Structure 1
């Protein structure tokens, strides 16, 4: 009898201790979010992106209790630091910039997508968010099986490198850019088609004036490069380390050119991502694990 009582007491102690630890962990998650909340505001975009578009995104996100969304995500991934979670927030916000501008940009990362899923659970606020942001709903289309979509992934890369910085966080989350294709067809279109044709083919039809303004500035960048040569863009990339100039030089570089391997294409061993990226990224351009075609229109 004494042993039974002792065992019950020990079990109760362990239960209370574990419960208290869980409570302390949740408080730590909340505290870390508040401390680093300012980091979530930084998207690191180039001047191609309208500042008003970025502002409208941050303003629209206030329809959600982002602290609660952040907490739910951290409960799901308790071993992840708040710094890592902030990186996923940044990439989700960058993705929302992309889908505000372009007709179809698919999602290619499961954890970034899971943050999106947390927003989708609150249908009423998600509707409000979309309306306040661009005036139309950003659709999330789910499919049961992952698929290989190199063209769609290349289009994401093509748009991404012109709008945002490409740093270690970008490469860790998305992997190297242009692994399947250099995107020359997209480049040819933006260099040769009229702005009206480009809008019809690539621009989101129901969106904000700020997003349309960004699309026009995006197009202008490609017109300007017709007057440039590869050396000029290589020099500019070396000066700024921006991915946009690097892309213009990379697409005209020979297959043996090693200068851009840290950002684009395959590494010297023929791999498309390192082990740390590979485990968190989707091989060969497949979409998110829970839905193989997360797209906007």
Structure 2
């Protein structure tokens, strides 16, 4: 074989090596992308999800109202659409996502603004929105007006941290903490309630003085007013205990006891905000599921509440106070997210 032939043969060999290398790397990337999800998927052996709200919970009345507000064919239609669009989701994981979406809607009835901190839950909401007529019916029946899904526009990091702090405390007071819920929303209690807001909250004589709660639903929905009153009463009791109490005896927080969890969150936010995340460290048995959490959508919705303090009539909520930002779920960056959340 002459020199030219050898050169051509070598070039063919090099080309073959590059082609084989390309497909090996591509296959490896695909396996790496899929394998962690399979290994860390917390819903593989998950139990059935709990009720949206247990009897005796401040949210129980709102949960009953929500179920009665859903058009009869909508839940099955949403399930079928999600399972078609996301074939990797198991039936059990979908059931948990659906429960958490309904809890999100209840939070929209209680809070003035609620970021959507879970990409997984937001995906279900997106598919629900495809049924525009039925979704409009649901919004009108449940909240008395349309619950819009609005894209975020970006905001300061500290603002989103405060939003997450309030989300955590009010969510746990309404529904309790659960490791599978945390796997969807991301780790709870990474940031403290802001001290300045706690100061204002302590001196407020009525809920209307605190803009964290939804004045639209409070004035129109008895179930929302009851839930808001109970949430505020519980927070004030824990704040009073935090002012006069001593630190919890245990070095790590028992996330399986909601009363201990909430009392610890308020106490450490009041006294040790600079060291809050370390002091709220959960016992080891509660950390496995949340390690692979799918939270971090960090988006907003609009018009589930009063339409904003400056515009009570049109259900707006598209101003700076309802924009999304970074560090929304345990420090993950969400500055470029889109989607929705609940803001009034």
Q: What TM-score, normalized to structure 1?
A: 0.70
1:169 deviates by: 1.1
- How far apart, CA to CA, are the structure 2 residues paired with 1:146 and 1:162? 27
Q: Which residue of 1 aligns with 2:206?
A: 195
**Taking CA–CA contacts closer than 8 Å with sequence separation of 6 or more, which of the two structures ends up with the larger relative contact order?**
1
- How far apart, CA to CA, are the structure 1 residues paired with 2:187 and 2:92? 21
1:212 deviates by: 1.4
Q: Which residue of 1 aligns with 2:302?
A: none
Q: Which has the higher strand share?
A: 2
Q: Contact between 2:62 and 2:223, CA under 8 Å: does it hold in 1?
A: yes
Q: Which residue of 2 aligns with 1:222?
A: 235
- How far apart, CA to CA, are the structure 1 residues paired with 2:269 and 2:69? 36
Q: CA RMSD in A?
A: 3.4
1:102 deviates by: 1.2
Structure 1 residue aligned with 2:96, among 79, 87, 91?
Answer: 87
Q: Contact between 2:239 and 2:267, CA under 8 Å: does it hold in 1?
A: no
Q: Which residue of 1 aligns with 2:51?
A: 42
Distance 1:218 1:60, change over 3 A: same
**1:140-162 Cα deviation digits (max 9, x unpaired):** 21147798532322232232122
Q: Which has the higher helix share?
A: 1
Structure 1 residues without counterparts, runs of 5 or longer: 1-37, 268-272
Q: Which residue of 2 aligns with 1:52?
A: 61
Q: Contact between 1:46 and 1:163, CA under 8 Å: does it hold in 2?
A: no
Q: Which residue of 1 aligns with 2:257?
A: 241
Distance 1:46 1:182, change over 3 A: farther
Q: Contact between 2:97 and 2:121, CA under 8 Å: does it hold in 1?
A: yes
1:203 deviates by: 2.4
**1:52-73 Cα deviation digits (max 9, x unpaired):** 2110011112444211211111
Distance 1:190 1:147, change over 3 A: closer
1:170 deviates by: 2.3
* Residues 139-148 or 152-161, more deviating: 139-148
Secondary structure (helix, strand or coil) at the match of 1:119 reads: helix
Q: What TM-score, normalized to structure 2?
A: 0.61
Structure 2 residue aligned with 1:162, among 173, 190, 196?
Answer: 173
Larger radius of gyration: 2
Trace 1:53-202 onto structure 2 (pairs within 5 A): 53-143=62-152, 148=157, 149-198=160-209, 201-202=211-212
